[in-house]
Amino acid sequence: MLFSYNKFHQAAFMNVANEITGGVNVRYSDIETYFSLKKENEKLRAQNARLLNQLRADFAWADSSLILFADTIKVDSIEQYRKFLFLPAEVISNTVSSQTNYLMLHRGSRQGVGINMGVVGPDGVLGTVVQVSNNMCVVMSLLHRQSKIASVLKKSGELGEVSWDGKNPQFVTLTKIPKSVEVKKGDTVVTSQFSDKYPPGQLVGYIEEVASDQSSNTYILKLRTATNFFNVKHAYIVNNLQQAEMEMLEKMIKKDNE
């Protein structure tokens, strides 16, 4: 009766009720948002994969500069010339403290994954697929003593090789860069256009220290990895759709030289 017939008490009651209801709704919204994070992450991975698959570097055209085509000849779809295809995957395990570190991804042969495919993350190169099951795969991390990745200085295009010395997970080493090339701290290192695993231009790291190799006329460059391997959650497996044709030609060359 007090709240029904007294406008002052009725207004006070409504204010208190709205405050309590609002607080409950905020908490409910926070809880609902938390449980929907996984679905949102999956959407973001799929969206990023679609964007990566539209990059110009994912396509390769046969050299036709000296061939004339008649107007009546059918023009193939651009999909016939696609070289790299990105497959989104969730990282379900990862190590950084061993001399031989690996990642495990929740995507396998049934989803198009094969051995020797390159793997990148949102920030840069992660490693190479070395084992595949039906729905999962194991990736040799960039932080593995046997990992070797052909890379170039983004500024000059000079080719070198990136490896890990097994010490600090934040740094790798770039070698085989001639001393005649100008390098400095902060320069960017990316994947080479000659790689059969990665599209050109994928980030590898940034030069942190420059040192001379006393046994040769080259540098030993310390790189800070573009990827923070302590916090890797998402990955993209790179499928080279022209790999089979490349391997066929390599086998033909070997056979001819036997």
Residues contacting residue 89 through CB under 8 Å, at least 6 positions apart: 45, 105, 106, 107, 113, 119, 137, 234, 235, 236, 237
SS3 state at 153? strand
User: Is residue 62 very low, low, confident or very high in pLDDT (cuts 50, 70, 90)?
Assistant: very low
Q: Which of the given ranges, 5-14, 61-70, 98-107, has the highest pLDDT on average? A: 98-107
88-115 confidence digits (pLDDT tens): 999 999 999 999 999 999 999 999 999 9
- The mean per-residue pLDDT over the stretch 51-80 comes to 49
Q: For the whole model, what pTM was predicted?
A: 0.72
Higher-confidence residue of 11 and 214: namely: 214
Residues contacting residue 101 through CB under 8 Å, at least 6 positions apart: 94, 95, 141, 143, 144, 169, 229
Q: What angle do CA 100, 101, 103 make, to 5 degrees?
A: 145
